[in-house]
Every structure is written in C-alpha cells, then in structure tokens.
Amino acid sequence: MTATHRPLGSTLPPVFPIGLGCMGMSEFYGASDDAESLATLARAVELGVMLFDTADTYGLGANEELLGRFIAEGAPRGARAW
C-alpha cells in the first residue's frame, strides 16, 4: 500500500489511514477459522494497518479474545495496542 501515516491528535503517534474490520472473524459471515484470521491480522500489520475494529458483541467476546491472543502471542515485532 502506498498510503502514508496520518496524525491522530497531538499526543499519539501517526496512524495508518486504513483499518481492518474484524467482525467476520468470529461470526455473521459463516464459519470462522482462527488460523486464517490470525494470518489475516498478521498480514494487515505487515501492510501497516494499526486499527482493528472489534466489539464484545462479535461472537459474544470471541472476536476480542482472538485479537487479544494475536496481540499477546502472535503480533509481529513492533506492533502496538493502545
């Protein structure tokens, strides 16, 4: 991607302008596959994505647990969570 990072307020580091919606990783669009979802999250970070849209209502919390597991165990080096 050729998009550049943009400022987010005056105190936070610049962020990539494109986020990843994670709702389909836990329900709503058919069967979910954690391995595929984790690979998608890793690739998104490699491409510069810094915003992952999730909610506790997606899979009754399963979506946030998946994203938390990715951040705790599998996020590429240098990835951050705010």
Q: Which residues does the annotation mark as catalytic?
A: 58
CA dist 70 and 26 (Å) reads 14
The secondary structure of the chain as a DSSP string is -----B--TTTSPPB-S--EE-GGGTSSSS---HHHHHHHHHHHHHTT---EE--TTGGGGHHHHHHHHIIIIIPPTT----
